[in-house]
Chains A and B, each alone.
Chain A
Amino acid sequence: DIQMTQSPSTLSASVGDRVTITCRASQSISSWLAWYQQKPGKAPKLLISKASNLESGVPSRFSGSESETEFTLTISSLQPDDFATYYCQQYNTYPWTFGQGTKVEI
């Protein structure tokens, strides 16, 4: 299985901060990586597909990038609605695997 190592596990930040979350794949996954946002008691919401393609309706403060097997989710200016847990997921190879999550808290 491809391991997805996500860091940090918890991130404390303030409104307006620039936030970066990293996900490293144990082997090449090309660009087949998605980012999700999950709020307590809710289903995950797809933010980004194919490493950097923003889903329709997702604010432009969210962006994704890649460098070989390292993937990054950036929130350019953290808003109150962004406090949540974020997960990466590779879908290059079965079994699909998720990172362990990053909780963004105040």
Chain B
Amino acid sequence: QITLKESGPTLVKPTQTLTLTCTFSGFSLSTSGVGVGWIRQPPGKALEWLAVIYWHGSEYYSPSLKSRLTITKDTSKNQVVLTMTNMDPVDTATYYCAHRRVELGLDYWGQGTLVTVSS
């Protein structure tokens, strides 16, 4: 059974760096074809893809946020970490991590974590 869970601060101040951890079970990020992505959703708005990392280490980022994002994996801990620098109130959103296999969509999602950016 595949599960994912996001963890991190619920409140950050403007200009601070956000660090979110996705802890997963039921699969290995060293298995061929597997990736973990991050997606966010501002309150009442649509989904926005942020980044993805794959079993072989390749990373892809949203171009509009690329300068602020870093995604890393720790295969031994079954974790993927997303850092976002220079947070702004417009970054207030629910942040999700999700599993995918190549050729499929995002088939397993975490419950999401709401991050509010406010002074």
Q: Which residues of A contact B (CB under 8 A)?
A: 1, 32, 34-36, 38, 43-46, 48-50, 55, 87, 89, 91, 94-101
Determine how close the nearest CB of chain B comes to the CB of A44; give it in whole angstroms. 6
- In the bound assembly, the distance between CA atoms of A20 and B96 in angstroms comes to 27
Docked-complex contact B104 and A49, CB < 8 angstroms? yes
Contact A49–B105 (Cβ < 8 Å): yes
A91/B60 contact (C-beta < 8 A), A43-B110, A97-B49, A98-B47 known: no
Besides the known contacts A43-B109, A46-B107, A89-B49, 14 further A-B residue pairs in the complex with CB atoms under 8 A apart: A34-B104, A36-B105, A43-B98, A43-B110, A44-B96, A45-B109, A46-B104, A46-B106, A49-B103, A89-B105, A89-B106, A95-B63, A96-B49, A98-B46
In this complex, the interface size class of chain B, counting residues with CB under 8 Å from chain A, is 20 to 34
Given A36-B105, A94-B60, A87-B110 contact (CB < 8 Å): no
A97 to B105, CA, bound (A): 12
Q: Are B46 and A100 in contact (CB under 8 A)?
A: yes
Q: Which positions in B face A, CB cutoff 8 Å?
A: 37, 46-49, 52, 60-64, 96, 98, 103-107, 109-112
- Report Cα–Cα, A1/B104, bound state, in Å: 20
Q: CA–CA, A100 to B64, complex, Å?
A: 18
| CA of A102 to CA of B112, assembled, Å | 21
B107 touches A89 (CB 8 A): no
B60, A44: Cβ atoms closer than 8 Å: no
Bound-state Cα–Cα, A24 to B62, Å = 21
Which residues in B have their C-beta under 8 angstroms from that of A96?
37, 49, 52
When the two chains form their complex, are residues A91 and B105 in contact, meaning their CB atoms are under 8 A apart?
yes
> Nearest CB to that of B64 among chain A residues?
A95
On whether the beta carbons of A87 and B46 are closer than 8 Å, the reply is yes
Interface centre among B47, B63, B96, B104 (most CB of A within 10 A): B47
| Chain A neighbourhood of B106, CB < 8 A | 34, 36, 44, 46, 89
Known interface pairs A43-B110, A43-B112; A50-B46 also in contact (CB < 8 Å):
no
